[in-house]
């Protein structure tokens, strides 16, 4: 099956990761409206045209990042759910609170 992201998936994993991290960083700094494909490309060390080649446009890149991060969150919550099964309520609360603090960057 051919997907819109087939060209992107054909890249080496290290280059995919570099583009993903750059795009996440730029969108986090500037938001969707102020982010340009040029900024993402510059941060990723690729040409602007390659963003269009891999994702079609800025919206396509953003939609890919949304799905990518959604899968990470789903995987994380699935594991967290498995971790809290069978422990008492207070221990569940401690685990959830410490996990929230860890992922919020407070520690």
Query: Which sequence spans correspond to the domains of the chain?
Result: 6-104
Q: In Å, how far from its chain's centre is CA 49?
A: 21
- As a whole number of angstroms, the distance between CA 94 and CA 19 comes to 36
User: Using 50, 70 and 90 to split pLDDT, how confident is the model at 107?
Assistant: very low
Architecture of domain 6-104: Orthogonal Bundle (1.10)
Q: Is residue 51 a contact partner of residue 41, using CB atoms and an 8 Å limit? A: yes
Residues 16-39 pLDDT 10s? 999 999 999 999 999 999 999 999
Helix (H, G, I), strand (E, B) or coil at 15: helix
- As a whole number of angstroms, the distance between CA 15 and CA 60 comes to 18
Percent of the chain at pLDDT > 90 equals: 60
Residues 6+ apart with CB under 8 A from 68: 20
Query: What does the mean pLDDT of the chain come to?
Result: 89
Averaged over 30-50, what is the pLDDT? Answer: 97
pTM of the shown model: 0.76
């Amino acid at each position: 099956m051919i997907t819109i992201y087939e060209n992107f998936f054909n890249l080496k994993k290290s280059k995919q990761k570099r583009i993903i991290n750059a795009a996440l960083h730029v969108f986090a700094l500037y938001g969707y409206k102020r982010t340009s494909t040029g900024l993402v490309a510059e941060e990723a060390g690729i040409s602007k045209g390659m963003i269009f080649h891999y994702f079609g446009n800025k919206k396509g890149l953003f939609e890919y990042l949304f799905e990518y991060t959604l899968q990470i969150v789903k995987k994380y919550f699935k594991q967290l759910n498995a971790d809290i099964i069978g422990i008492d309520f207070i221990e569940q609360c401690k685990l959830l609170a410490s996990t929230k603090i860890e992922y919020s960057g407070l520690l």
